[in-house]
Amino acid sequence: MLFRIAQSDTPASSEITPRSTYADRRRLMLTGALAAPWLAGLPARTHAAGAAKLAGRASPLSTTEKPTSYKDATSYNNFFEFGTEKEDPARMASILKTRPWTVAVEGEVLKPRSFGIDDLLKLAPMEERVYRLRCVEGWSMVIPWVGYPLAELIRRVEPTGNAKYVEFITLADKAQMPGLWSSVLDWPYAEGLRLDEAMHPLTLLTLGIYGEVLPNQNGAPVRVVVPWKYGFKSGKSIVKIRFTENQPVSSWTRAAPHEYGFYSNVNPDVPHPRWSQATERRIGEDGFRQKKRKTLPFNGYGDQVSSLYAGMDLRKFF
């Protein structure tokens, strides 16, 4: 066995690992450790509640468009807490523990309280609503969501007269979410709606998709779905709902206010600073000759929601 004998107590500068590299290696090691269950063979759709059925009655608010396949809807996701690549959430989110789970409701309400996940599952009759989902990046899906109007929860906590907005806070746990080591956003993830938007019948407190409980990568165990807005407005893995008098600052608005406005209604006439919003690519329709779809105002839900914005300049309030 050979031994290398140091000639000096002070290492050469070329042998010193930069602090940034050391930090990156630590994050990589942590990510690898967190991914171990997946690497051992856990399927991406597995989570604490398994693939339990979550039946909901069909809703007349559903679109008649063909749903995106379950495989595409659960393998192509934006969920930056688990990584910035579309495949990251399906690979990494199986380690998320969704039970026990509590959603605290606070702020400008007369009856603040905490809801366990079983409380939420029993709060109101479930519906299956087939909604379009439009991402700000230019792609879309059609997903059968299972849940009930968020208004059902809101009425139970009785907002005060000062409540004008509703803020949603997502879980931020570095032990379960390796994406939190990234500085791409300030954590925890926060989104918000005006109270009348949150109370609108289309706004869904969502606990499942395709007749099953939510897979982790799709925002388990509870998220909101706001179908006329870009997808990032629909907060996932919610742990806190806060009613406020003042407009909350959303995570993406804080990160890039010139690119992501508070309202973020789907508007083909307001381009993102770096790309057009006039057309979209429907996931699953990726054939060579498949044309992009024309993006619809309010994602096709204009008849139901345009009155919420009567008199507003939707270019200014984008």
The H or E element containing residue 139 is strand 139-149
Q: What is the mean pLDDT of residues 233-238?
A: 97
Asked if the structure places residue 173 within a domain, the reply is yes
Asked if the structure places residue 30 within a domain, the reply is no
The one-letter code for the residue type at 172 is: A
CA distances from 11 to 7, 16, 17 (A): 9, 7, 11
Asked if the structure places residue 252 within a domain, the reply is yes
Q: What is the mean pLDDT of residues 23-27?
A: 39
Q: What is the pLDDT of residue 95?
A: 96
Q: What is the pLDDT of residue 295?
A: 98
Query: Distance between CA 3 and CA 313 in Å, rounded?
Result: 74
Asked if the structure places residue 313 within a domain, the reply is no
CATH number at residue 302: 3.90.420.10
Q: Name the band, by pLDDT with cuts 50, 70 and 90, for residue 286.
A: confident
More confident residue, 48 or 56: 56
Full domain range(s) for residue 266: 52-307
Query: Distance between CA 302 and CA 297 in Å, rounded?
Result: 6
Asked if the structure places residue 145 within a domain, the reply is yes
258, 273 Cβ separation under 8 angstroms: yes
Asked if the structure places residue 117 within a domain, the reply is yes
220, 135 Cβ separation under 8 angstroms: no
Q: What is the pTM of this model?
A: 0.84
Q: Name the band, by pLDDT with cuts 50, 70 and 90, for residue 290.
A: confident
For residue 225, the cross-strand partners are 204
Asked if the structure places residue 6 within a domain, the reply is no
The one-letter code for the residue type at 102 is: T
Q: What is the pLDDT of residue 52?
A: 86
Query: Distance between CA 114 and CA 118 in Å, rounded?
Result: 11
Asked if the structure places residue 32 within a domain, the reply is no
Helix, coil or strand: residue 169: strand
Q: What is the mean pLDDT of residues 306-312?
A: 97
Q: Under the phi-then-psi rule, with left for phi > 0, alpha for psi from -120 to 50, and beta for the rest, what region is 263?
A: alpha
Q: What is the mean pLDDT of residues 4-21?
A: 36
Number of independent structural domains in the chain: 1
Choose among 205, 46, 251, 268: nearest CA to 260: 251
Query: Distance between CA 243 and CA 247 in Å, rounded?
Result: 10
Query: Distance between CA 270 and CA 35 in Å, rounded?
Result: 39
Q: What is the mean pLDDT of residues 41-65?
A: 71
